[in-house]
Amino acid sequence: MDLKQIPVTDNELANQFEMRIDNKIAKIEYKITGDRIFLTHTEVPPALEGKGVAAILVEKVLHIVEERGLKLVPLCPYVASYLRRHPDWKRLLAHGINL
């Protein structure tokens, strides 16, 4: 299964981006205030752990954030860690946010 081919959906009612894999949902919870998006929590079901799901989900969500022209505030430790490993994405950070 090519995880990069699995779409991410924006479940606006639940304030989370979701990736459905084998009837399980990996998610990143968010809150939007003005032009800022706060990514607050990343969760991958235990059955999907260790397969790179979280990293692919974060990358896809960062593309969505960029397409929407939002400024990123990574409150989730996993997202912040991802940004440190992939510094090119730091261009999305809201003014004054340092990792």
* 39 to 2, 5, 29: CA distances (angstroms): 25, 22, 6
Distance CA 14, CA 20 (A): 15
Mean local confidence (pLDDT), 9-20: 98
Residue 70 lies in domain: 3-92
pLDDT, position 23: 94
Does residue 99 belong to any structural domain of this protein? no
Q: What is the CATH number of the domain that holds 41?
A: 3.40.630.30
| Domain count across the chain | 1
In a domain, 19, yes or no: yes
Q: If you compute the radius of gyration of the chain from its CA atoms, what whole number of angstroms results?
A: 13
Length of the chain measured in residues: 99
The pLDDT, as a whole number, for residue 99 is: 85
The pLDDT assigned to 2 comes to 87
97 occurs within a structural domain: no
Mean pLDDT of 8-32: 97
User: Is 98 a domain residue?
Assistant: no
Supply the mean pLDDT for the chain.
96
**How confident is the model over 23-45, as a mean pLDDT?**
97
Which residues in 24-58 are b (16+ Cβ under 10 Å) and which e? Answer: ebbbbbbeeeeeebbbbebebeeebeeeebbbbbb
Residue 56: strand, helix, or coil: helix
